[in-house]
Amino acid sequence: MVFGEFKMKVLVTGGAGYLGSGLCSELLKSGYEVYSYDNLMYKQLSLLDLCIDDKFHFIHSDVRNQEYLKKYLQKVDIIIPLAAIVGFPACDRDKELATQINYEQIKFISDNISKDQRVIFPNTNSGYGIGNGDLYCREEDGMKPVSHYGITKCDAENYLLDSGNSITLRLATVFGMSQRMRTDLLVNEFVYKALTDRYLTVFESKNVRNYIHIKDVLKTFIFMIERYDAFIGEPFNVGLSDANFSKEQVVELIKKYIPDFAVTYSEYYKDPDKRNYLVSNEKIESTGWKPTYTLDDGIKELIKGYKIVINNDVSHFRNGFPIGYGQPT
């Protein structure tokens, strides 16, 4: 966005990740000057096509390098802090690191920007924990995270909202193809295993969560930048209102397009990820925001994308599978 001759500058931490690489591209298309900040821990090549653009800048560093991070905070108007340790397994493996990246670096960002700078922060539906039974989780409901991942993200959201110069997005489980792919996300994982293993074991099959396509997430960040003054200080759920689905329902959708894979719904083992909630997206929909892509669209996209990947050298693609710096699950 350009105001007169002034071109707004955006810092995206985790800018080479699953969300970050696509977001940098979309921001450039929308006229922003972009600073992508990433430690490239997966040796990903997801930003190469952006290097031709003079408005694109890449910073190779870790967000824990506070002196270096502060230098770039001072250069920009908008901060979108995507760098995170994502998912409960990675956070449980190293809780200290998860706290440093997911909470302390967000606190550092908030403490080192001016009141005129803007933050749009991605939280996760995971903060709703085990939900409210048959009631939909709304923004005014208290967050009740059941994992260290959820706790760190919710603590960061609360700190930012208390600071008064941020908007937070409580993202549903994201799906869809990306330049820096992740297959630990539920829909992405289920489709990949259905195609490659032809077999899927599902735990806690009745547990429900909400879903959103990656392209709609990217669109939401820009939507909020352009309406920042109207929504400052507000949290928003971001998901598909017609996709509060159980894991079993997701499997049945996939079977529409890949009918010949076997599935076992295990009753003997419990999924350590206890998330189970219905989510209302009425608040963001009331702003005029509308998603474009359905869960069916994403499944069909993933099938096509994985066929390309499976039949090529996927060494650097597979490096994206583990959970690490990236975005909310």
- Beta carbons of 250 and 207 less than 8 angstroms apart: no
**What DSSP state is assigned to residue 133?**
T
Output the six-digit token pair for 303.
């099938």
CA distances from 273 to 18, 61, 185, 315, 317 (A): 21, 31, 12, 28, 25
CATH architecture for segment(s) 7-174+212-238: 3-Layer(aba) Sandwich (3.40)
Question: Rounded CA gap, 10 and 22, in Å?
Answer: 14
Residue keyed to tokens 């799906």: 175
CA angle 168, 154, 234 (to 5 degrees): 25
pLDDT at 291: 98
Residue 85 three-state SS: strand
Which of 221, 186, 198, 195 has its CA nearest to residue 87? 186
pLDDT at 244: 98
Domain ranges (residues) in the chain: 7-174+212-238, 177-210+242-278+293-318
Question: Rounded CA gap, 218 and 223, in Å?
Answer: 9
| pTM > 0.75: yes or no | yes
Residue 144 phi/psi, 5° resolution? -135, 70
pLDDT at 3: 45
Identify residue 53 by its one-letter amino acid code: D
Q: What is the DSSP string of 27-47?
A: HHHTT-EEEEEE--TT---TT
Q: How far is CA 181 from the centre of its chain?
A: 12
Assigned CATH topology for domain 177-210+242-278+293-318: UDP-galactose 4-epimerase; domain 1 (3.90.25)
Output the six-digit token pair for 161.
């909202």
What is the pLDDT tens value at each position of the chain, 329 positions in all? 444 445 799 999 999 999 999 999 999 999 999 999 999 988 999 999 999 999 999 999 999 999 999 999 999 999 999 999 998 889 999 999 999 999 999 999 999 999 999 999 999 998 999 998 899 999 998 899 999 999 999 999 999 999 999 999 999 999 999 999 999 999 999 999 999 999 999 999 999 999 999 999 999 999 999 999 999 999 999 999 999 999 999 999 999 999 999 999 997 777 777 889 999 999 999 999 999 999 999 999 999 999 998 877 554 444 344 333 333 34
pLDDT at 327: 39
